[in-house]
A and B are shown apart, each in its own frame.
Chain A
């Protein structure tokens, strides 16, 4: 079934952003419906929003999704599916959480359990999730006659720039609530754009300098001085899952069927021909494109996604002992990781603990995904790059890679964690430096008070190709 057919059967609930690992939630997932996503949004408003605002001592959060960050490309590609989601194609990190691609949203902690939720300007997918939805300013589109009339009739009440129409009246709205500390979506240190999966779709760092100026004018000096960056709050909100998100995380990508690869003719068929990912037994270095045009041979092991396949030699009924042993090593590493990540750890702390445990268990840790020929040839080498999946953001991250703040970020409860690790097991009898490689990509881990649990089954073993 082609990707287009699959999407037509189970339209992505978050179309246009699946490449940023949102696929962890909606990849071929019939449960990722608009209703379910609305439900998650409301649960997060109820359960997560009050905590993240109070943790950051913010009593008002103004989040501006700029209309001009919306390209429309994905919307046009998918319009035949009639999905009618207004958050399609935005690059704002919270486009799904708030269900919009263009809005000025204001959340106010007015005491009590519930945060007031207001769409000050703009449109959202799910009006019922908000207390007030004022709708889109009729002046957002400058190509109309109404704005000409307005300017003529109100010459003294025209914003400094057309960008300011979104904020008309916001000063009074804010003053009425008199917040002490206002979180606004601009970045100071975290470089959220850099922290996203930049090679698929970079997210924005928040509002522009011009927006900051217009917002400051709209708020007036008194409240503009109370603005602080909402970057930590945004990250915390994104990475704190509710139960509904675990449901989607566990259901996405199911059913995962292993392939039989009966079409492979050893000596003729290449990895590219069958859509395999990379070889596990041939590469010196981990290069996904190496050898993909070489014919597959008996005795080769390769991966298709996360699943490893072994092409049996004549007379073999299963993988030979060294290949089987490499899988045993993978399972040992997986178990060791899952027991050594704790809620409240920073990524760095978790990394240090896992490295210690790996070394205690006789593995060699490598900080790059490359076999190190200078290390003890008896030791299996392990590289780690565990990170948050599903929200387009790599933090928190248990890895030597990435920005420092990825590893500084604490692991929240129910984090959806991609358990990504690479195992290089040397096979000295094959020759110096020869080894078997396995890369787990993103096994679906959830961090609980008990450690890491799996929302969906990790790969069970090596599949033999007869």
Chain B
């Protein structure tokens, strides 16, 4: 097949009638491979992280973030080195701009998970730099990811929103695909919930890096 295709390519004036047919077959195979590659790429992007456990119905006490009665709270859990989280942070930036008319505005936190055995230097990177440029976002550390586990978060970019009455309003992601910026159902659900409107969804899949190392098999 390859030999015939190459001969068809190089045939020039001595091209046989079947030469172009072979070449067109090669082109068709190539187009199928390209389309297959695009499908695989999107399949990867549309595969959410590990299923999150149910988030606590009310804000859990005892964590790094104090109780927030009287004000809504929005928390994003992130892996400090996850490049996909850039999209989540950029969407968070746009989301915050939609909170302007909220009174009182929500307290906004970014909780960076530091794995066991790693120091505070682990959080240095693009996620922290990006978060630092978003006005109103307070960064907290989560040693060992214990607080993230209590919240049921398994994937970087997981957002939890609690109302002024401490009740859980939303739990999930705010991007429509992994590392993909743009509108997403989770964003609209958060805005509707914080403005006191009914939302058709209260959860959405989270696309991003895993917060925990994969379990060692054996």
State whether these chains interact: no
